[in-house]
Amino acid sequence: MSTDTAARSVQRRVRSVPIHRALPKLVREPAGALAEFAREAGGEIVRLELGPFRPYLVSHPDHVQQVMRLEWTNYQRVGMFWRPLERLFGHSIMGDGEQWRISRKVLQPMFTTRYIATISEEVSRRVAGRIEEWDRYARDGRSFDATTEMSNILSYIVNRVLFGDKLDREDGESIIPAFDTVAHSLVYRFLMPFMPYSIRVPRDRALLKAVKRIDDVVYPIVRRAMAAPDDSTDVISVLCRSTDENGDPLTVTQIRDALVSVYAASSETTAMVITWVWLLLKEHPRVAARLQAEIDEVVGDGPARPEHLPGLAYTRMVLLETLRLYPSGWLLPRQVMEDAEIGGVRIRRGSTVFICPYATQRLDDFWERPDEFDPERFATGDGERRHRYSYFPFGGGPHKCLGEHLFYVEAPLLVASVLSRFRVAVPTPGPYPTGWAASLRPRQKVDLGVSFAGRDRAGVA
């Protein structure tokens, strides 16, 4: 369907997917199912009949733009999908309304391109330090779990941005599994959205315990930082010096909520994208060879440093295309605040709409060979011809991701540092379907193996 057709559409009956089709597909592979329904409907709105819960799937770029930007105040991050998250995030940047506005205003200046440039040196040192630790895998020939290791590295980087030197490595590592437990436990709440909180659902206890573990680490650091404010540039120090609109200092809970929200939004999302990079490279040896050639030329023996970033154009194209096929923020639910109309379909107040970058970014009308991995799509200048909302892995409108600039520093540094030091192998055989999780991840556990690049080149390994 063209943009014109969407604009001219008149009120009409909405297509729907019956429960006997929708449910089994969603349970098996939710992102794939939504992409299939969106494609069958040619980008028109689709209603998913899931018994008492009947959300709308919105995938045409015009409609996405309407929900995320033009009429965003009518599509809020509240309701059954967001309420369970409050147990972890509290009321902060990952919500909506007043608290979101305050947090966004305070946090935004810390994630600009210029600000991120000031910490890129430190980010590259952290990446390099962690990558060197893979030497032990290369020496022993042992493989390791890709998603866990990527999460560990990304958390280590993000912790620096958030906490500076106020969080030691041991505490930092201890909260990674707690966040993982939260992410997995919340799935049950999402699957049973009508269940009141007074009734326990599976893994509720694990969830509360994990949140307590996170709080036990984060609250004392916040209290210490508030008691002895300094002029450091890490997020916690800046938050301690910040005030709200009335000029009052932020409370300990506001600071805790902001830190925990940004941590959750940042580390797993990036870690999963890099995990997909290794899987895609395995399946596309020609892309892998070209990427390797660029990294050999620009970075040499490594590690990658901020000054290499401008030369890593193809690395960036590979990341952009990975984000098209596997956007970690694959499901962005919104609640409709007042009766609305999208693409000629009347939508009642209180309904849920699903925005799914995974589905939109695979629509045939906007992407040639949509399921094919082809970084060339992102060769310079090509983006100008695309609809702004046919590609939105970082969301759009006022809720647009704060971490995009950080991503474009940490992700190329990580990929280039790994490939300048090692050759990566993926012993786990494909295909790699997507699983059920807050951030799009492979369904099965995926192993990685590394060998020393230098020795490979010399033909020793």
Residues that bind ligand HEM (CB under 6 A): 77, 93-94, 104, 111, 262, 265-266, 269-270, 273, 327-329, 332, 393-395, 399, 401-403, 406-407
**Shortest Cβ 227–ligand HEM spacing (Å):** 26
Token digits of residue 413: 């540094």
DSSP string, 123-159: HHHHHHHHHHTTHHHHHHT--EEHHHHHHHHHHHHHH
Token digits of residue 153: 């590295």
Q: Tokens 């008691």 — which residue?
A: 227
Show contacts of 98-105: CB within 8 Å, 24+ apart: 99/254, 99/257, 102/244, 102/245, 102/254, 103/254, 103/257, 103/258, 103/261, 104/398, 104/402, 105/245
Q: Tokens 């991995």 — which residue?
A: 373
Radius of gyration of the chain (CA): 22
Give 255 or 332: the residue with its C-beta nearer to ligand HEM.
332
**Shortest Cβ 111–ligand HEM spacing (Å):** 5
**Shortest Cβ 5–ligand HEM spacing (Å):** 26
Running DSSP on this structure, what letter comes out for residue 55?
P
303 preceded by cis ω (within 30°)?
Answer: yes
Residues facing 448 on adjacent strands = 144
Q: Please check if 401 is assigned to a binding site.
A: yes
Give 115 or 452: the residue with its C-beta nearer to ligand HEM.
115
Give 120 or 269: the residue with its C-beta nearer to ligand HEM.
269
Residues facing 341 on adjacent strands = 346
Q: At what angle do helices 113-132 and 404-421 cross, to 10 degrees?
A: 30
Token digits of residue 174: 């201890």
**Shortest Cβ 103–ligand HEM spacing (Å):** 8
Tell me the residue nearest to ligand HEM as measured from the CB.
403
**Shortest Cβ 77–ligand HEM spacing (Å):** 6
Residues facing 452 on adjacent strands = 422
Q: Tokens 């906490």 — which residue?
A: 163
Decide: 375 and 321 in contact? Cβ < 8 Å: yes
d(CA 359, CA 12): 22
Q: Tokens 């520093």 — which residue?
A: 409
**Which SS3 state, helix, strand or coil, does residue 438 take?**
coil
Q: Show the DSSP H helices in 285-338 as ranges.
A: 285-298, 313-325
Decide: 319 and 277 in contact? Cβ < 8 Å: yes
Give 17 or 262: the residue with its C-beta nearer to ligand HEM.
262
Give 437 or 453: the residue with its C-beta nearer to ligand HEM.
437
**Shortest Cβ 131–ligand HEM spacing (Å):** 18
Residues facing 336 on adjacent strands = 75
d(CA 264, CA 183): 9
**Shortest Cβ 58–ligand HEM spacing (Å):** 13
Give 366 or 394: the residue with its C-beta nearer to ligand HEM.
394
**Shortest Cβ 10–ligand HEM spacing (Å):** 29
Give 17 or 280: the residue with its C-beta nearer to ligand HEM.
280
Give 9 or 417: the residue with its C-beta nearer to ligand HEM.
417
Give 104 or 209: the residue with its C-beta nearer to ligand HEM.
104
Cα 411 to chain centroid, rounded: 12
Query: Which positions make up the binding site?
Result: 401
Query: Which positions make up the binding site for heme?
Result: 401
